[in-house]
Amino acid sequence: DGGITQSPKYLFRKEGQNVTLSCEQNLNHDAMYWYRQDPGQGLRLIYYSQIVNDFQKGDIAEGYSVSREKKESFPLTVTSAQKNPTAFYLCASSLQNPGQVYNEQFFGPGTRLTVL
Amino acid sequence: AQKVTQAQTEISVVEKEDVTLDCVYETRDTTYYLFWYKQPPSGELVFLIRRNSFDEQNEISGRYSWNFQKSTSSFNFTITASQVVDSAVYFCALSSGYSTLTFGKGTMLLVSP
C-alpha cells in the first residue's frame, strides 16, 4: 500500500540529547514537509523540501535540522537547541506539478516526542 | 501574508444534529487553494477536500458539504446528521501564490450518542 510512515510512534528523550524522527513515503511525491503540533494549536511548518538535496526553513526551524538525500526519505533531527521539543510531529508529502499552485498534502501517523 | 481563522475552538452536538464548522481566510493573491483536513484521535490528518479560488461551486460528498464564498472569504464545512465517528479535530488550510500551507488552529467536534 502507498503511504507515509513515521517512526517511532512515541519517543522519549532526555534533555540535552539530539533525536531523529523518521519519515518515509512510497507515493513518489516530490515534496515533503515537517510540522509541529502543540495542544490547541494548528500545525506549524518546521522545514520542507521540494526536491532531493534541497530544503527550506519553515516558520519555526530553529533547533531543528533535516536532510533529503533520497526522494522517499526526509528525517527530522530535534537538537538540544530546541527549547521546548515536547510536541506531536507530523510528516507530509505532496506532488509538485509544474504550473499548478498547490496539491493536497498527505500526512503520516505522527510521532509524539516527550522530553523527560 | 496569509491567515486562516477558525473561531470555533470546540463544538459539541448530539448524534444526528447538523453542524457547521466555520473558516475565514485572508490572502492578497487572486489564485489560491483552500483545504479541509480531519484529525481523528489517532492523530493522522486525513484530507477531505481541495477547492481553488476560481471554483465557487458548493460541493457535497455524502453527509459532508462545503460552502465557498469569496465575497466573505469563507469556506465553511457542514456535516449533516452527525455521527459519533465524526468526532475529531477539523482543520481548514490555505495556500496562495507559491507558498506552503497555512493552517487554522482547528475546531474540535464532539458528537455524543
Q: What is the pLDDT of residues A38-47, one digit of tens each?
A: 987 889 999 9
Give SS3 for B95.
strand
Task: Give the residue from chain B lying closest to A48, CA to CA.
Answer: B100
- Which chain B residues are closer than 8 Å to A88 by Cβ? 43
- Our separate counts of H helices and E strands in chain B read 0, 12
Residue A28, CA distances (Å) to A4, A21, A31, B11, B47 in order: 11, 20, 9, 38, 18
Q: Give the mean pLDDT of B71-91.
A: 96
pLDDT band at residue A100 using 50, 70 and 90 as cut-offs: low
Q: Which of A44, A48, A106 sits opposite B47 (nearest CB)?
A: A106
Q: Which residues are B92's β-sheet partners?
A: B36
Q: Is the pLDDT of residue A82 over 60?
A: yes
Residue with cell string 504550473: A99
Phi/psi region, residue B70 (left: phi>0; alpha: psi -120 to 50; beta: rest), is alpha
Peptide bond into A8 cis (omega under 30): yes
Q: Give the mean pLDDT of B90-112.
A: 90
DSSP code for A78? E
Q: Is the pLDDT of residue B57 over 80?
A: yes
Sheet holding A19-25, edge to edge: A4-7, A19-25, A76-78, A64-66
| AA identity, residue A22 | S
Residue (of A80, A88, A86, A79) closest to A107 by Cα position: A88
pLDDT band at residue A64 using 50, 70 and 90 as cut-offs: very high
The predicted structure's pLDDT at residue B46: 94
Task: Give the residue from chain B lying closest to A107, CA to CA.
Answer: B45
A110 and B44 in contact by Cβ < 8 A?
yes
The predicted structure's pLDDT at residue B1: 79
B101 and A102 in contact by Cβ < 8 A?
yes
